[in-house]
Structure formats: structure tokens, C-alpha cells
Structure 1
Amino acid sequence: MGRHGEAMGEVDGRPVYVPYALPGEVVEADISGSHALLRDIVTPSPERIDPFCPHFTRCGGCQIQQWQSETYRLWKRGLVATALKNQGIAAEVEPLIDAQGEGRRRATLHVKRTTEGVIAGFNAARSHDIHPLDHCPILVPALAPAFEIARRIGALIGDCDVAFTASETGLDVDVTTKRKPTPALAALVETERLGRLSVNREPLVTRIAPEVSAGTASVRLPAGSFLQATRAGEATLAMLVIENIGKAKYVADLFCGVGVFALRLAGKTRVFAADSDRAAIAALTEATRKASGLKPVEAKARDLFREPLVARELKDFDAVVFDPPRVGAEAQARQLAKSTVKAVIAVSCDPASFARDARLLIEGGYRLTRVTPVDQFAFTAHVEVVALFQRAAK
């Protein structure tokens, strides 16, 4: 199974990737370059199971529903091990933690007007066309009305993307469109009982401010802000981060977003938090001010890609946590490699960029002592990882 969730075969000595096939199967497929379109399964794998969603193979949201759990979990754990091996790093990877929970609390639906009416859904498999949906079984129950709401928005303003977040206080909806908002669009907040409706990340109407809890604190979400895909995923990642910092008394949380790690860490240690998203930093600062029983939290807006914390700025921290976007944190990892920080905890959503940053830290004198994969994007090829690096004694 390839790293994108496509079974890999060979034709004339070159690899061919077949979506929805499984290792060991004999299939008939139409080959085009390095990919193939599955036509028929001649000899199925004993590991093949029935997918739970009737839209599987037509909707592009999930790549793997047809593989039994045990083998799927080993493959996903192997994605992290392989990425490390490709960087020349030998490390024991812990068993995969299932963090799907009750489902994903975020979804972006594509909406289009057609001659037959307004449709809403995800991209079709290997296509930019929209596969219409009325329901998605991997979403939390609170997002069940999302498809109908998206169609109503499309009927008012035409083609658009509609991002939904199921916050703890209600649905947060952000519409990406080139059209100007209308009074009828604003009225949907009341008729659909939405928490907030934004257009191009600018709040239009707020009925109830969307909030999520982080430890003992509550964070008011900025429009369009990043949030982990599942509540279980966020809680699992945070648990691992807290375990790995040990008895650190001063921790830096870099690429902190709205502070879902920082606010939990502040329950036991002093925290410095930084992120380039000014709205997220403002939300974290407000949450810190309103919460009680926390250690001091200092939050600053800073572009850590262009202006990473350098070694002299890092010298006072006992531990550093970094959780960058998919591209990783190469510039920050280079500075950490020059630092004297005792423990570095890396959180990543991309095994390849994680492994690259891990190599930089190891070359700087760190030991990779723990690697834990986390699966909050179940049924896809995406996997999270939390890793502990400890400064080797001189």
C-alpha cells in the first residue's frame, strides 16, 4: 500500500498505483501512466471488508474503508516509520492511537448551482467535480444539517465554499465567495440557529460566539481559525504533549494557534506561546485573562517561518513544543538544534516534514526517545505524530 492510500503494483518494471485496491489482490484496471482505474477485483484480499459509506469510491473524502482495522493500523503506523527511515533515522514507533472519537467537527463543503438545482458536497474521487451529498458518516452529529444549510446558502449567493465548525456553543459557518452578502444570507443565522455566520472570514452575524474548551479555559474562536479535526484528536495530542514535557517549569508553545496546548500546559507550568495568526493570539490572550488557576501565559504574534526563535531566545525554556502546518518547521528546527533546551516535543500532521525536522534536531545533538502516531483522520492516508527529543548529555 502506497503512502497515499493506493495499492501499488508493477507493470513492465514500473510502479502503478490503483485506488481502492488492496495488497495481494488480483485486479483488472485501466492503466494511465503511473495510475490505474479499478474495473474489477478478480481475487479479493482476505483483509477486504465492506465499506460503511455508500458513497465510497465516488466521493473523494475517504481513501480507505475497505481494509480491515488491524492491517490498516499497522500500515498507518508504518507511514511514520518509513518517513523516519528515509531520513536515516532508526526509532521505535509506538502503536497507532485511534482518535477519531465521535467524528470530525470540521468540514468544508463545495457548493454549485446547476441546471437541476443547487448541490453541495466534497470533491469527487480524483476530480474537481462536486460529488453531491446529504449526509457524511464520518462527521459529528452536530454537522448533520450542514449539507442542507450549504445548499440554502448557494441558492442565495451562488457558487461558494462553506466551512463548518461544530463548536461547543453552536455551528460556526464561514462562506468563501466573490459575491457580496445579502440580508437574506444574514437571516439564516436565526432561521438555522447558527452560532455565527462569516463571509470571507469576516463575521457577518453572531448569535452565540463559537467557543471550545481547552483544559479549564474556554477559547472564543476567530472566524476561519484552525482547529484540530476531532475533539478526541486534540485531547490525545495535548495529553501526549503534557506527558512528554515532564516536570518542565517554563515551556514555549510554537505555532500555538488559539492555544489548545498552551492553555492545558498552563495548568502546570509557565508558558510562552507564539503564532503568526494575530486573531488566534488575541483569542488565546482573552481566554487566558478569563480563566482562573493558570500559570502565567505570554502570547505573541510572530512569523516563525521568517523569524524563528533563535538559540539565545530559547535558553530560558525547559521544553519547547512546536506544531507547524504541513510544511513543517525547518527554520525553527535549525535554531532548536543550536539551543540548550532539554526537551523538544514535535507535533506534526505530515510524516515527511516531521522526519526532515527530526534529522535536523538529531544532527544538533538531540536523541529521539519517543514517537507516537495518532489517527484522527481515519479512513484517509493522513496521520499525526507526537515525538519527544531530549538533549544528549555532553
Structure 2
Amino acid sequence: MTKEPVSGDPGLILRIAAKGDGVTADGRHVPLSAPGDRLRADGGLDYGPHHAEPPCRHYPLCGGCQLQHLDDEIYARYVGDRVVGALTGQGVEAGAVLPPIVSPPRTRRRASLRAAKFGKKMQLGFSSENSHRIVDMTMCEVLHPALFALVAPLRNLLGPMVGDRRAAHVRMSLVDQGVDLCLENVGAEGLELAERLNDFAQTHRLARLSIDEGFGPQTRYEPEPATITLGGVPVAMPTNAFLQATADGEAALVSAVRGAMAGVGTIADLFCGLGTFALALGEGRAVYGAEAARDLVLALKMAGNRTQRRLVADHRDLFRRPLTPEELNRFDAVLIDPPRAGAREQVQQIALSTVPVVAYVSCNPGSFARDAKHLIEGGYALESVQPVGQFRWSTHVELAGIFRKTGE
């Protein structure tokens, strides 16, 4: 956790807890406080040197950010401390915890917003934390400008498509051709609405516009196939497919993994998705990628075939059918990038293998630390951890951990 010089003042904020509250010297949790602030007897705060002026007028009501009141130094330290705290909780020690990498403001390239109509007023934005209340967005310091530019026009578009007090979802991703937009839980029947949608897509030069009325997304506009370039290779982008939140964050995670994979031969990329790592690491060597989502596997396979990569994309549910030690031992290195819950079943198999190098990319320090403990018990050492803050000013932290078999 974030450490500050200990004071005899019990109201001094010393550190930031995992969920974002400041913690006083006597253990009280204080929302919206920063290390160096002082909690007064009346419950107010005297701000210290690390308390920043939030750049967004919607803070702290908007649930998109939780930590805009921290200065850059303390926020970066918080990102690293989230990882260290999770490891300490499992009794795991890393050889090195590298300086955190934090994405700049206004670089988030994917977002999920909520929309609802109350009378004639359409509200669109992030929800308040732990609430269904929508904060009607008029500015945003985290979204890429190309995404935010659609917020105001979308209010007009959605008016006749959303019933009164009915919630809809707006999912946006920035792909090679522009913004990939999917509108969920909306009504879009009839010629007039079809024309409005087409005009909107053309006016704003969307890469794709899809509508999901409860039966899965249906493409309404896509002048050319939407792609996302990964490792220099354009890959077909299925609607709402997972994408690293920022280009900077993706580059940081790839760089951390690439350093560990230098000079190794065949690689297995488990939970490979669209191939963020398989394509970045696969030039000049063979890569096996396993993924449970069929549309992602097909997109990756097509990209590999088109570029004549030595890439095998396997449709495989690694929770139900993890790779066995015998299968894993065929590879010189394994990369694993599981969902937030981690990958206990697959990690247990890796721990029994003889794979020399394991790179573990995680969006949850808690599940990573639990899985890291299993790997260490299986004879691996945690060489280094790279904390990454893609979701700037939030409590959401990602990382890349490098493990090496010790030979014991």
C-alpha cells in the first residue's frame, strides 16, 4: 500500500486502500482523500500536497473515474501498490516490481455507456458507482476524442429509439476504420429509423453501426470490413470483441512480455482473443493460440493465413479442457491472459509442466496473486511484474508477470 511518513496525528491520511479510500493513521477509511490530507474532527478534510483538483466537472458522481483527486505521482504509486498488496496477501514476492505505466488522459479507445429517456430528455453517460443513475456526460477526460465526439449526436439519434424510462446501452470501440458503434436494447424498426441510422453512420464516418434488439448484434452499416491492427497485422473485428482499453496500455503489456520471450522458440498463447500477443510475438516463430470464443478464433486464423504466419488458432475452452502438462511441454514459453477471475484450472496444469518461461497478463491483481502462488508452489519464480494503469483514475489495474522455472 502507498506509504507516507508516519505522523503522530491520527487523522493524517497515510495511504490509499485497494478500493480507493484514503486510510488514516488510526485506520479510518476516508473517501476522496489523498496521502498527506488531514481528517478534521468535524469530518472535513484539510488538503495536503498530493490532493489534485479533479479535471472533470462530473467527478466524483460519474462512475467512470474514482481517483481524479490524486496527483499523478500518488496515482501511479497506487497502481503499483495494488499489485504489491495483492502479492503480499498471498505471501508471494516478486524479484522486481517495475515502475507503473499509466495511460495518458483521453486515450480510452473502448467504452460502454448507458442511455435512458426521461420525458423528452435523453441522458447518456457512465453510471454512478454502485448505482443505475446515469451521469449525463458533457465532458470526459478519459475517452478518446473520437468516441466523445459521438456523445452529443447520439442523444438526438436515440430519442425515438428508446422508450420512456427504458435503459439502452451504447458500446463504442476505436478500430482501424473509425468508431465501431453498437446500440443495444433499442427499437429500430421501420424505414424512417433505418434511414436515420444510415445517415448518422455516414455523417459521422462510422466504421460500423450495429443494432442489438435482444437477439444479438446485427450490422446495419459497414462500408468496408472493420479491422483492428495487432502486431502490425489487420484482424477482422467482431462486434463488441475485447480490445485492450488503450493503445499505450497494449504496448506496455506487449513490451513486458516480448522482453521475456526474446530468443525462445515456439510459444503457446492461452486465452489469446484476437491475437494481441500471438501476432505481436509471432513474427519469425511458431505460435499456438487457444480461445473459447469461436468468432475470435476464426478472425485470428484468417489473419494468420493471410500473412502466412506459422500460427495455429484452436477453438478450445481452457476452463473445461485446459492444456495438460504433456501438451504444454511441447512449447518453449507459455503466455496466459485469462479473464478477471483468473485461470485456476489451467495454472495448475502449467505448474506441473516443465515450460521454462511463463508470462501471465492479468486485469485483476487478486486473481493473479492467487494463481502466482500455485505457479511458485510448482517450482516457478516470479521474476518481475509490470503494473499498468490503462483505466486512468480508476481502481482497475492490469499487469504482466514473468515466471521462470527454477529447476527445483
Q: Distance in 2 between matches of 1:46 and 1:97?
A: 22
Q: Is the 8 A contact 2:177 2:206 kept in 1?
A: no
Q: Tell me if 1:298 matches 2:312.
A: yes
Q: 2:179 aligns with which of 149, 171, 182?
A: 171
Aligned to 1:357, the other structure's residue is in SS state: helix
Q: Tell me if 1:250 matches 2:266.
A: yes
Unaligned runs of 5+ in 2: 1-15
Q: Which structure's residues are more often strand, by fraction?
A: 1
1:303-322 counterparts in 2 under 5 A?
Answer: 303-322=317-336
CA-to-aligned-CA distance 1:219-259 (integer Å, 9 cap, x gap): 12001100000011112211211111121110000111101
1:76-155 counterparts in 2 under 5 A?
Answer: 76-91=79-94, 92-100=96-104, 103-155=107-159
Q: In the alignment, what sits opposite 1:157? A: 161
Q: Is the 8 A contact 2:63 2:127 kept in 1?
A: yes
Q: Is the 8 A contact 1:63 1:379 kept in 2?
A: yes
Number of residues of Structure 1 aligned to a counterpart in Structure 2: 380
Identity %: 36
Q: Is the 8 A contact 2:106 2:140 kept in 1?
A: no
Q: In the alignment, what sits opposite 1:361? A: 375
TM (norm. structure 2) is 0.88
Q: 1:337 aligns with which of 345, 351, 361?
A: 351
**1:208 positional shift:** 3.0
Q: In the alignment, what sits opposite 2:385? A: 371
Q: Is the 8 A contact 1:101 1:231 kept in 2?
A: no
Q: In the alignment, what sits opposite 1:226? A: 242
User: Which amino acid in structure 2 is aligned with residue 198 of structure 1?
Assistant: S
Using a 3 Å threshold, how does the CA distance of structure 1 residues 349 and 206 change in structure 2: closer, same or farther? same
CA-to-aligned-CA distance 1:21-44 (integer Å, 9 cap, x gap): 2234334699xxxxxxxx742x11
Q: Distance in 2 between matches of 1:45 and 1:127?
A: 30
**1:362 positional shift:** 0.4
Q: Distance in 2 between matches of 1:367 and 1:213?
A: 33
1:178-193 counterparts in 2 under 5 A?
Answer: 179=187, 181-183=189-191, 184-185=193-194, 186-187=197-198, 188-193=200-205
Deviates more, 1:138-147 or 1:333-342: 138-147
Aligned to 2:135, the other structure's residue is in SS state: strand
Using a 3 Å threshold, how does the CA distance of structure 1 residues 100 and 330 change in structure 2: closer, same or farther? farther
CA-to-aligned-CA distance 1:187-206 (integer Å, 9 cap, x gap): 23224321111123332321
User: Which amino acid in structure 1 is aligned with residue 235 of structure 2?
Assistant: V
Q: Tell me if 1:25 matches 2:33.
A: no
User: Which amino acid in structure 1 is aligned with residue 37 of structure 2?
Assistant: E
Using a 3 Å threshold, how does the CA distance of structure 1 residues 199 and 358 change in structure 2: closer, same or farther? same
Q: Is the 8 A contact 2:111 2:172 kept in 1?
A: yes
Q: Is the 8 A contact 1:349 1:385 kept in 2?
A: yes
Q: Distance in 1 between matches of 2:48 and 2:92?
A: 32
Deviates more, 1:78-87 or 1:135-144: 135-144
Q: Distance in 2 between matches of 1:240 and 1:182?
A: 50
Using a 3 Å threshold, how does the CA distance of structure 1 residues 58 and 231 change in structure 2: closer, same or farther? same
Q: Distance in 2 between matches of 1:360 and 1:48?
A: 39
CA-to-aligned-CA distance 1:75-112 (integer Å, 9 cap, x gap): 22111111111111122311112234751001111100
User: Which amino acid in structure 2 is aligned with residue 361 of structure 1?
Assistant: L
Q: 1:239 aligns with which of 255, 260, 283?
A: 255
Deviates more, 1:100-109 or 1:169-178: 100-109
Deviates more, 1:223-232 or 1:156-165: 156-165
Using a 3 Å threshold, how does the CA distance of structure 1 residues 132 and 178 change in structure 2: closer, same or farther? closer
